[in-house]
Amino acid sequence: MAAPAGAKSSLCFDRLPKEDLISLYVDVDATKIRPVDIVTEGETLEGVADNSEDFVIANHMVEHCEDPIGTIRHMLRVLKIGESFL
């Protein structure tokens, strides 16, 4: 999924560093796994500042969360006012 037009930055958050993701997902082409800029728990985005992100993409993730509504609240928390949650 591509970043919205006009987005100024594109950081990748994940629960594991890229090397661990490659080891975990052996059936995925390693070149298709993005480098991880910030390792954090996806449900809380701990360590990500409020109102700091131009967009958040949660691709096939929210349905696996223990608290999907709380997860969406945290994603909205880190978004700059008026920006996109995909």
Q: What is the pLDDT of residues 30-56, one digit of tens each?
A: 999 989 988 999 899 999 999 998 888
Which pLDDT belongs to residue 33?
A: 93
Closest CA to 49 of 77, 21, 9, 16: 77
pTM of the model: 0.74
pLDDT of residue 25: 95
DSSP codes of every residue in 18-29 = HHHHHHH-TTS-
Higher pLDDT, 82 or 21: 21
